[in-house]
Structure 1
Amino acid sequence: MGFFVLSLLLLGILVLTEIRAGSHSLKYFYTAASQPGLAEPRFTAVVYVDDQQVLSFDSDSPSQRIETRTPWIEQEMSNYWELKTREATLRYRMCLQKVPVYYNHSEGGVHTYQRQAGCEVFSNGSFSRGFAQYGFDGRDYLTLDTGTLRWVAADAGALNNKRKWEADQRIAENWKIYLEGECVHSLQRYLENGKERLLRADPPSARVTRHTSSDGEVTLKCRAQDFYPAEISLVWLREGEEQLQDTEFIETRPAGDGTFQKWAAVEMLSGSEHKYTCRVQHEGLPEPLFLKWESQFSSIGLSAGVITILLLLAAVIIGVVVWRKNTSDSKRGSYTATASNDSAQGSDVSFTART
């Protein structure tokens, strides 16, 4: 089972294929699927630039037209896309009738015929590689070896098709010309038109969580989200040493808002959590992040200690203020009494002097 098992999910679900850091890709996914009780197979086409879906077509849709999936691609829309889609629809429906014969399948069954093709360029825009792969019923079928221009058959059922295509060398040569020429030029143009979205670098937000299983095993998970592009590195370190073999990864997944998410988990003995550090590296980060798990109880204890100190300090301050106030009031009372006596004596003196 190969790539085409996953590509069956293309009807409404994004299929991610990792590309090398700093490179960009243009990918086309075509699928023709026979439908029980219906004369015409269903045909779908999806176009991706890097990890962003930009165009799609579904023969079952009411509009029967190519739909744009991002604003900047609208300036690329022309009769070219409509013509290519119609041609592909007819060609793949015919292939869906012919290929089952190579496998001795009876007519009227449910089958799928698929193609993935595209190109990658380096960060400077120069050609990196091209690819063209076909699949049948969810399995690899034929793959073009772009170096030798030979077709690689995945099984005996694909040999007939391989012989036919290799009998006409122009088929492989035309693929090479397209992948290294038109495909690259299109990708370069798309990257320029959509650079605000495609060439951005959103840094990840990351954290470490702790999980305990029913049998007492401890797992630390390093989670990263909200990042773009999709390329990211999550590595667990134990006292500075990478733990790649002991780490469980999930593939980078779309978050549904144009960003991505990923996590990496490592198991350990309880009490050794402090020995582990998660290193996060991404294009949007000026330098790697190093994250450790922090116990919530420790945080609560620390917060409680800080609060206690602040309360004690506040009590001392209030005590000093009250003491100073009482002292000030006491002195003020003595000064008032003395002043009153002095005033009374002065009056008597004055009265005596007047008499």
Structure 2
Amino acid sequence: MQSPRCCLLSLLLYLFLLSGTWANLEGAFTLRLLQTTTFQNTSFTDMEGLGLLEDIELGCLDKHTWSIHFCQPWVRPALPHVDWDTIENLLKVYLQKFRHLINEGAMQRDIPYPFVVQCMAGCVLYSNRTSQAFAYVGYNGQDFLSFDTENVTWTLSQDTELSRYVQSFLQNYTALNELVEIIFNDTCADEMEVFLQYGRTAFPVPSPPCQPLSHVGAFTLRLLQTTTFQNTSFTDMEGLGLLEDIELGCLDKHTWSIHFCQPWVRPALPHVDWDTIENLLKVYLQKFRHLINEGAMQRDIPYPFVVQCMAGCVLYSNRTSQAFAYVGYNGQDFLSFDTENVTWTLSQDTELSRYVQSFLQNYTALNELVEIIFNDTCADEMEVFLQYGRTVLERQELPVATVFTRTPSLDQLLLVCHVTGFYPRPISVAWLRDGQEVPPGPALNTSTILPNADLTYQLRSVLAVAPRDGHSYVCRVRHHSLGTRSLLIPWGNSEVVLITGLVAGLLAAVAVAAMSVLWVWRQRKHQQMEESESRNSILSREA
């Protein structure tokens, strides 16, 4: 039995084994292939796929025909038509085998339906043409396995009986693992350049200015920084700017320069302003690294450790704003900044947190600068990004909801409402029992909102009930894209409603047919009577 990964990698091999010229683009570029598959039961599977070069959608999977929909006009010309035909055929074979093997494994291991499998693979290509590969597998929204391309091994992201079984299954495919290692570590730097060559004009294209955004609700701007201090000499820094869930820009960890993730971000400010910001950013990161290392040595803090910083503001529709700033240490909340009182407050009371609090509190100029930036200028400056990114921010995708059941035991029935494909992220999903909303309790379990491969979201709400309890149940979905309407998806009576509708439609069709036959019959009868009268009149004249 062939592993589904072999088919996927055959497809990737066709994608990567191309010839092209280096696009002379600076910085790092990431190619990601995303696949999300929802196994509702052994018969019904919902598959979604997406290819991304940075944040640019190259192509997506048609979930009905499993064909490739090209999202950019320059993607199809990057390969001959015969190659795309081969890729589509391989893709369909892969998806069929993937679905079959997963269902077969689920039945062998008694895995309860429904469940979701997510796969992400790709590589990062740096300006010096070195590359770093990655491959991850998720199960029900949780990290499950990852592929170590250096050691050619699958590593556990969670240690469970199921993950160990899948790890062992994949690890035994030596040829598969070697193929993954070759594709991502050896050929990515050479072959991804063809897409950069064909799509180079897609990166610097500016968006024209538009009218001020008439937004409803609130928008949040977040600046994230994660720094791993391996020792006094080596520090790994990562940075990201987000407007809601949209990536504005990220930090190049090698050059500390800004990589713009949206084509409309750079035009939002003059070039001279971006140059100033980059220079200030580099000075800040140098001082940040120096001061943290200095403090760590003074306080005998053991290496390695991780420092996380998040700062930003929420802008409301009345143009008032609320700022926030947080510091984390080794994944735990550490300090937060009170912008109203211009003070640092403890999130955990330890000797180290009190030392850092005292250290920061003595920087009066720093605290006043933070207070001014976030409380005074956020409402004015963030609106520039809202104006330039209006089209992206106002994107709306309608939710698609399905209701099905699971029976974990004879005395319990689980009603599952699965909602997917919606954007923006906020959504309301509730169960109605006999028209009344079911309150929160142990019988109701709603998952967190999870991302899909096509940059939309999904979640599920599960309600435990007794079989044949005599009540009617409806899943209600409210979302901004629906306006004042709601999606109502019934369970139980839905088949009756469907059958009644079919019978009513059939009766209506019969009635229409009967009326049509009667009308035709009357028309013919009337015509025959006229012809008979005409003949009688002629005979009487002849007589």
The TM-score with structure 1 as length reference comes to 0.72
Per-residue deviation at 1:267?
1.9
The equivalent residue for 1:144 is 337
Matched, 1:159 2:354: yes
Q: Which of the numbers 276, 291, 304 marks the counterpart of 2:473?
A: 276
Which residue identity is paired with 2:246? Q
Q: Deviations over 1:295-350 (max 9, x none)?
A: 575467457746875897799899999x99xx9xxxxxxxxxxxxxx9xxxxxxxx
Matched, 1:97 2:289: no
Does the 8 A contact of 1:255 with 1:261 survive in 2? yes
The equivalent residue for 2:436 is 240
Cα distance change on mapping 1:212 and 1:262 into 2, 3 Å: closer
The equivalent residue for 1:74 is 266
Matched, 1:23 2:218: yes
Q: Deviations over 1:254-278 (max 9, x none)?
A: 3344433333332222235853333
The equivalent residue for 2:463 is 266
Does the 8 A contact of 2:414 with 2:464 survive in 1? yes
Which residue identity is paired with 1:271? R
Per-residue deviation at 1:54?
0.7
Does the 8 A contact of 1:30 with 1:43 survive in 2? yes
The equivalent residue for 1:8 is none
Does the 8 A contact of 2:338 with 2:344 survive in 1? yes
Cα distance change on mapping 1:159 and 1:103 into 2, 3 Å: same
- Helix, strand or coil at the partner of 1:185: helix
Q: In 1, Cα distance between the equivalents of 2:516 and 2:338?
A: 83
Which residue identity is paired with 2:408? S
Matched, 1:205 2:399: yes
Highest relative contact order (Cα 8 Å, sep 6+), 1 or 2? 1
Q: Which of the numbers 249, 258, 262 marks the counterpart of 1:55?
A: 249
The TM-score with structure 2 as length reference comes to 0.49
- Helix, strand or coil at the partner of 1:59: coil
Cα distance change on mapping 1:304 and 1:275 into 2, 3 Å: closer
Q: Which of the numbers 353, 364, 376 marks the counterpart of 1:169?
A: 364
Which residue identity is paired with 1:159? R
Which residue identity is paired with 2:371? K
Which residue identity is paired with 1:231? P
Does the 8 A contact of 2:474 with 2:491 survive in 1? no
Alignment of 1:113-128 (within 5 A): 113-127=307-321
The equivalent residue for 2:76 is none
Instruction: Report the identity percentage.
Output: 18
Does the 8 A contact of 2:227 with 2:306 survive in 1? yes
Does the 8 A contact of 1:227 with 1:261 survive in 2? no
Per-residue deviation at 1:294?
4.1
Does the 8 A contact of 1:24 with 1:122 survive in 2? yes
How many correspondences in the alignment? 319
Q: In 2, Cα distance between the equivalents of 1:307 and 1:164?
A: 77
Q: Deviations over 1:164-207 (max 9, x none)?
A: 22233333222111111233332111111112222x15253242
Cα distance change on mapping 1:301 and 1:231 into 2, 3 Å: closer
Which residue identity is paired with 1:285? L
Which residue identity is paired with 2:451? P
Does the 8 A contact of 1:55 with 1:66 survive in 2? yes
- Helix, strand or coil at the partner of 2:421: strand
Q: Deviations over 1:126-172 (max 9, x none)?
A: 32x11111111111121112232221122312111111222333332
Cα distance change on mapping 1:305 and 1:150 into 2, 3 Å: same
Alignment of 1:339-350 (within 5 A): none
Q: In 1, Cα distance between the equivalents of 2:386 and 2:318?
A: 11
Q: In 2, Cα distance between the equivalents of 1:214 and 1:158?
A: 48
Matched, 1:221 2:417: yes
Cα distance change on mapping 1:294 and 1:83 into 2, 3 Å: same
Matched, 1:86 2:279: no
- Helix, strand or coil at the partner of 2:482: coil
Per-residue deviation at 1:253?
3.1
The equivalent residue for 1:192 is 387
| Structure 1 residue ranges without an equivalent (≥5) | 1-10, 14-20, 328-341, 343-355
Greater Cα offset, 132-141 or 266-275: 266-275
Q: In 1, Cα distance between the equivalents of 2:389 and 2:504?
A: 50
Which residue identity is paired with 1:56? C
Does the 8 A contact of 2:408 with 2:414 survive in 1? no
Greater Cα offset, 241-250 or 133-142: 241-250
- Helix, strand or coil at the partner of 1:251: coil
Does the 8 A contact of 1:119 with 1:130 survive in 2? yes
Which residue identity is paired with 1:90? Q
Cα distance change on mapping 1:112 and 1:309 into 2, 3 Å: same
- Helix, strand or coil at the partner of 1:214: strand
Cα distance change on mapping 1:257 and 1:54 into 2, 3 Å: farther
Matched, 1:289 2:486: yes
The equivalent residue for 1:346 is none
Q: Deviations over 1:226-266 (max 9, x none)?
A: 222x2222232323234233432223333344433333332
Q: In 1, Cα distance between the equivalents of 2:407 and 2:309?
A: 43
Cα distance change on mapping 1:298 and 1:143 into 2, 3 Å: same
The equivalent residue for 1:65 is 257
Q: In 1, Cα distance between the equivalents of 2:295 and 2:329?
A: 8
Does the 8 A contact of 1:254 with 1:260 survive in 2? yes
Q: In 1, Cα distance between the equivalents of 2:295 and 2:497?
A: 64
Q: In 2, Cα distance between the equivalents of 1:290 and 1:315?
A: 35
Per-residue deviation at 1:41?
1.0
Per-residue deviation at 1:27?
0.8
Matched, 1:135 2:328: yes
Does the 8 A contact of 1:26 with 1:49 survive in 2? yes
Alpha-carbon RMSD across the aligned residues, in angstroms, is: 4.1
Which residue identity is paired with 1:270? P
Per-residue deviation at 1:47?
0.2
Q: In 1, Cα distance between the equivalents of 2:476 and 2:506?
A: 35
The equivalent residue for 1:345 is none
Does the 8 A contact of 2:307 with 2:329 survive in 1? yes
